[in-house]
Structure 1
Amino acid sequence: MLMDLFFDSVRTEKKIRQHFHRFMQSIHARLAELSGKTDPLSLVVSELERDYDLICFDEFYVEDIGDAMLLGRSLEKLLASKVKMVFTSNIKPSDLYMGGLQRKSFMSAISAIENHCEVVCLESVTDYRLRELEKSGIYFSPIDSEKINSFNELFLQLSKGTNSGPDAIDILDRKIAFEDSANDIIHFSADVIFNSPRSSSDYIELSREFHTIFISNLDVIEEEDTARRFIAFIDECYDRNVKVIFLSNPLPNEIYTGTRLADKFQRTLSRLTEMQSNDYLQGRHKG
C-alpha cells in the first residue's frame, strides 16, 4: 500500500513499477538480444536511463544464481545512474542471497545498495492483508451470490482500488488470461489455470511473482491431467507461501473424485488445510 501511494504521487510519466523477478527476466532477455555487442550490460543501463526517471521494485528477493551474478555486475551501474530506484523487500540488504552459490560475487550488489540507498525498516504490528484474509476466510464455497460478492469484495479490499481488470500475463512466452490483477495480486478462473495445458514451470513463475492468487469457479475434478495440474499448482504455491483464495463449488475434500491420484491428493488436501491457518497466512511470501 505504501508503494502504491508513493508511485502514484510521483509526477513523471517516465516511471515503472515491476515485480523484481519479472524485471530480471526482461534484463536477461535484453542481454540475449544484445549478445555480440561490446559491453551489452552498459547498453541496457543506458536504455533504462533513457526511458525512466523512476524504477520501483516489489519484493526484492534473490535466490537464482543467474540473477545473483548479473546483479553483482549491474546493480552498481544502475544505482550510480540518474535513475531513482525504490525497493520493497522482506529481507535486509546484508541478508540477501544468504547461503547462495558464489555469494562472494554478489557482495558488490549488496555494497551498492548500502552505499547508494537509504535503508528504512518499516515495522508494522498489523499486516492489513493478513487481517482481511483472517476476517473473510480464503475458501468460499458453495458458489452462490453471497459467496461471489464476498470473494470479489476481498479482492477489492486487498487491491485497494489499483486493480486493472481483465487482461493477459506473459509467462514463459505464453499468454495466460486473468480476470483481474493489482501489483502482486491476481485473479484467474479455474478453467484457465487447471483445464488448459500448463506445466509446473508456469506455476513456479506465478508463485514467484504473486503474493496472493484468487481462483474462481472451481468445480469437481475428475480428469487426471486436471488433477495433476491442481496438485502441482498447490505444491508450488505452498512452497513459496502464496496465499490462495478459492471460489469453489466443492469443499476441499470433494474437489477430486477420481481414484488414481487419491493418495497424492491427500497431501494436497493437507496443504490446503494448512494454507488456511494463521501461521501460514502470517508467513512471508518467498517470491
Structure 2
Amino acid sequence: MSPVFHRGPWAVRGRGPTGSGPRVVRTAYGAGVPSTDVPAASHSATATEPIAAAHASGSPIALTDRRPVVPAERLVAEMVPPPRFADVSFGTYIPDPTQPSQYEAVQVLEQFAATLGGGNGSAPKRSWFRRSAPAPTGPAGVYLDGGYGVGKTHLLASLWHAAPGPKAFGTFVELTNLVGALGFQQAVRTLSGHTLLCIDEFELDDPGDTVLVSTLLGRLVDNGVKLCATSNTLPEKLGEGRFAAADFLREIQGLSAHFRPMRIDGQDYRHRGLPDAPPPYTDEAVTAAAARTPGASLDDFDALLAHLSAVHPSRYGALLDDVAAVCLRGVRQIDDQSTALRLVVLADRMYDRELPITASGLPFDQVFPEEMLRGGYRKKYLRAISRLVALARDSAK
C-alpha cells in the first residue's frame, strides 16, 4: 500500500485504478473520522438522520444534540453563494476610493463575465467517448488575492450571479467534500457540465489537497470550465509554510497556471473604524439572551468543540439549519490544532448565515494562541477571528 502523505482534512493514498484520479481517504482535520462519514453518492436525498429540534416551544436549540446527515445531492445543490451574498452584484460592491486595485478588480471580472458561455448561456457540449478539444491558451480563470475583508467573496459571488448557468460556487473545503461524497470521476463529470466554477478561500493545507485539487482543476479546464478563486495567498505561494512545497512544486505551479492573479488591497471592511472585539457577557446573560431569542441555540463552548469532532466538516452547515442566533457559554483559548481548524470551518458557516453570536468567556480575538497565529494555518485563524468578532459585534447592536 502506498504511503499516506499527510493526515489532514484529506489524505491521498497513492492512486486509484488507471485513469480514475487520486484515491481519496477522508479524515476530519486529523480527528480520525471514518471514510464513511461523508455520505456516498448512492444515498437517497431523503436519507437523513433525525435532527433534534428545539427542546420545547420557546426553548433554545442545542447544537450538541444534532447529528445531521447530508446526502451528496445536497452538497451539489448547495454549491451557490451563501445567504450573505445571495443578492450581491458588481454594482453593490463599493470600492475604497484610496485603493485603485479594487476598481480594477471590478472591471476585470465584469469583462471576464462577458466572455463566459459563448454568448448562449451554456457550457459547450462535451463527449465522454473521445478526447476533449485542447483547452484555449492563456489562463482559464481569475485569482483574487488580498487581505481579509476587502470584498473578495463579494466580487466572486457577483461574478457567479453575472455568469450564465450551469455554474457552481463553493469554498475550497466544500469542493474537497464534494469530491469525497461523489468520488473523483463523478465529481469531474458533474462539474464539467458547468460554465464556471467559483472557489472561495482557496488555500492548500496539505499535500493530499494539492494533488486532489490540481488534478480536478486540470480535468475541468481541459473540459472548458472557467475558474475564479479567492485566497489570501498568491497562487505560486500556496502551501508555503505548511508543508515541503518543493516536493509538490509541480502541482502548485500547475494550479497557478490556470489563473490570472489579481491583488486587491485595502483594509478589512468588517472592522474599518470599528472598536475591538466586544467584551464578553456573563453566563447568565448568555442564557437569558438564548431564552428570549426565537431560533437561538445555546451550548457550552467545550461541549460544542467536542461535538464538532464527531461531525464531519461537510455537515457543519446543516448543523446550523433553522438557527437564528448562536449563544455560547465559556469561550476559552483553544490548545490543539485539530479543534482550532474545526472551529474555523464552523465560523465560516456561521458567517455565511449571518448568525449573531452572544458569548461569555474570552473575547474571540483571544481564542487562538499566539503559537497558532504564527504557524502555517495563520491565515485561516485570522480569517476566523475577523468573522467571529464581526458576528459578536452584531449581537451587541
Length-normalised TM-score, structure 1: 0.52
Distance 1:98 1:118 in 2: 19
What does 1:1-287 align with in structure 2 at a 5 Å threshold? 1-12=154-165, 14-31=166-183, 41-50=184-193, 52-101=194-243, 103-104=245-246, 106-124=248-266, 126-131=267-272, 134-135=274-275, 137-139=277-279, 141=281, 171=313, 173=315, 175-177=318-320, 188-190=326-328, 204-208=341-345, 210=347, 216-218=357-359, 234-235=367-368, 239=373, 240-241=381-382, 242-243=384-385, 244-245=388-389, 246=392
Q: Which amino acid aligns with 1:204?
A: L
What are the Cα deviations for residues 50-82 of structure 1, in whole angstroms up to 9, with x where unaligned? Answer: 2x2211111111112321232343332223321
Distance 1:58 1:113 in 2: 15
Distance 1:137 1:102 in 2: 35
* Cα contact 1:19–1:57 (8 A) shared by 2: yes
Going from structure 1 to structure 2, the CA distance change for 1:110 and 1:135 (only over 3 Å counts) comes to same
Q: How many residues align?
A: 195
* Cα contact 2:211–2:251 (8 A) shared by 1: no
Q: Which has the higher contact order (CA 8 A, sep 6+)?
A: 2
* 1:87 CA drift (Å): 0.3
What are the Cα deviations for residues 82-104 of structure 1, in whole angstroms up to 9, with x where unaligned? Answer: 11110001111111112444534
Distance 1:11 1:173 in 2: 29
Distance 2:369 2:220 in 1: 32
Q: Which amino acid aligns with 2:359?
A: L
What are the Cα deviations for residues 104-134 of structure 1, in whole angstroms up to 9, with x where unaligned? Answer: 453333333333321111222x3212216x2
Find the residue that maps to 1:98 and give its secondary structure: coil
Going from structure 1 to structure 2, the CA distance change for 1:201 and 1:69 (only over 3 Å counts) comes to same
* Cα contact 1:62–1:68 (8 A) shared by 2: yes
Going from structure 1 to structure 2, the CA distance change for 1:217 and 1:100 (only over 3 Å counts) comes to closer
Distance 1:18 1:88 in 2: 11
Distance 2:241 2:276 in 1: 37
Find the residue that maps to 1:88 and give its secondary structure: strand
Find the residue that maps to 2:270 and give its secondary structure: helix
* Cα contact 2:277–2:393 (8 A) shared by 1: no
Q: Which amino acid aligns with 1:17?
A: F
Where do 5+ consecutive residues of structure 1 fail to align? Answer: 32-40, 149-168, 182-186, 222-226, 250-287
* 1:207 CA drift (Å): 0.5
Going from structure 1 to structure 2, the CA distance change for 1:189 and 1:81 (only over 3 Å counts) comes to farther
* Cα contact 2:178–2:187 (8 A) shared by 1: no
Q: Which has a greater percent of helix?
A: 1
* 1:2 CA drift (Å): 1.9
Going from structure 1 to structure 2, the CA distance change for 1:85 and 1:206 (only over 3 Å counts) comes to farther
Length-normalised TM-score, structure 2: 0.39
* Cα contact 1:15–1:55 (8 A) shared by 2: yes
1:275 counterpart residue number: none
The Cα RMSD (Å) is: 4.4
Going from structure 1 to structure 2, the CA distance change for 1:71 and 1:218 (only over 3 Å counts) comes to closer
Question: Aligned residues: percent identity?
Answer: 17
Going from structure 1 to structure 2, the CA distance change for 1:130 and 1:247 (only over 3 Å counts) comes to closer
Distance 1:217 1:18 in 2: 27
